[in-house]
C-alpha cells in the first residue's frame, strides 16, 4: 500500500469512528500531531522501548510487557485487550494524524514528499549553519 492509499484508509477509519462529525480547526489538528511527538519524547525520556504493550487483563491498571519480557500477569494477558505503546507507536500516531488530514483534504502526500526531498538534495551542507 502506498502513502496516498494509506491516507484514504486512515481517514475513512477516523470518519467511521466519529472523529470528523464536525470540522476541526487546522491549528487544533497540528497541535494533536505535535502532542504525539511530545508523547514519543516522553517515552524516550522514560527509557521505554520502541514498542511494548499494556494489557487490559490486570485489574491494577494493566501490566506492561514487550517481545522480550512476557506479561507478569501470565498467559491470559496475551489474550486480553493489549494497547501498543512506545516511541515507535507514538511516531506512528503522528504519521496517522498527518495521513488522516491528507486523506480528508485529498493531498498527494507522496508527491509532496518527493518534491521536498528533491529540493533538499540541492541544499548546501548543513544549510543555515544552525546546530541541532
Set of cell numbers at residue 14: 477516523
pLDDT of 84-121, one tens digit each?
A: 899 999 999 999 999 999 999 999 999 999 999 999 99
- Residues 37, 98 share a domain: yes
pLDDT of 43-57, one tens digit each?
A: 999 999 898 887 766
130 is a domain residue: no
Q: Which domain holds residue 36?
A: 1-17+24-51+88-121
132 is a domain residue: no
Query: How much of the chain exceeds pLDDT 90, in percent?
Result: 65
pTM: 0.84
- Residues 35, 75 share a domain: no
126 is a domain residue: no
Give, as one character, the DSSP assignment of residue 84. Answer: E
CA angle 99, 21, 18 (to 5 degrees): 70
Strands 64-65 and 82-85: unpaired
Instruction: Indicate the number of domains in the chain.
Output: 2
Amino acid at each position: 500500500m502506498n502513502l496516498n492509499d494509506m491516507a484514504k484508509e486512515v481517514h475513512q477509519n477516523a470518519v467511521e469512528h466519529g472523529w470528523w462529525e464536525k470540522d476541526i480547526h487546522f491549528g487544533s489538528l497540528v497541535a494533536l500531531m505535535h502532542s504525539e511527538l511530545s508523547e514519543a519524547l516522553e517515552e524516550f525520556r522514560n527509557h521505554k522501548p520502541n514498542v511494548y504493550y499494556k494489557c487490559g487483563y490486570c485489574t491494577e491498571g494493566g501490566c506492561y510487557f514487550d517481545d522480550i519480557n512476557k506479561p507478569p500477569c501470565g498467559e491470559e494477558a496475551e489474550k486480553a485487550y493489549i494497547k501498543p505503546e512506545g516511541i515507535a507507536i507514538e511516531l506512528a500516531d503522528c504519521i496517522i494524524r498527518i495521513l488522516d488530514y491528507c486523506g480528508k483534504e485529498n493531498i498527494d502526500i507522496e508527491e509532496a514528499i518527493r518534491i521536498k526531498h528533491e529540493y533538499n538534495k540541492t541544499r548546501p551542507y548543513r544549510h543555515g549553519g544552525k546546530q541541532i
